[in-house]
Structure 1
């Protein structure tokens, strides 16, 4: 019985660890790795239509994968409109 419980707990832990956290807000603050972390990029996206979106993927210090969605504003700056964090199940729970 103990082995079956251990397997069930392991499967549940893997399922929870692979969950994503979506954060959608009008005022998301840049985090290290964000395109706008140190301010707006020097180059402007002049050929992309205003209101169009694109994604940027990067890893955080703890191994989590981050997917940010940016939108091109009327002044050609970019704004983070969505952030998804995908927990890396191999490093889940590590604090180093």
Structure 2
């Protein structure tokens, strides 16, 4: 399980069937600090379901791109998939 205690977490994309509010509440209960933007303090990016774009199918969200940019600059940002996040929720007491 991913330890989010004291970590700054950002969510991008949708986490169906969970709402953004439920995901935020879960993360905060687990001790995370949830932000709406990627910054120099970001530790984890939860990458939800990619939005369908018929004209640019490989397009990623601005938050995802910002996380990749920070990783390229040497910042330790862990990108967590939707599946890994849901496994974390299932394995918790939430």
- TM-score range normalised by the length of the shorter chain: under 0.3
Structure whose alpha-carbon radius of gyration is higher? 1
Task: Give the alignment's TM-score, normalised by structure 1.
Answer: 0.18
Task: Give the alignment's TM-score, normalised by structure 2.
Answer: 0.18
Larger fraction in helix: 2
Larger fraction in strand: 1
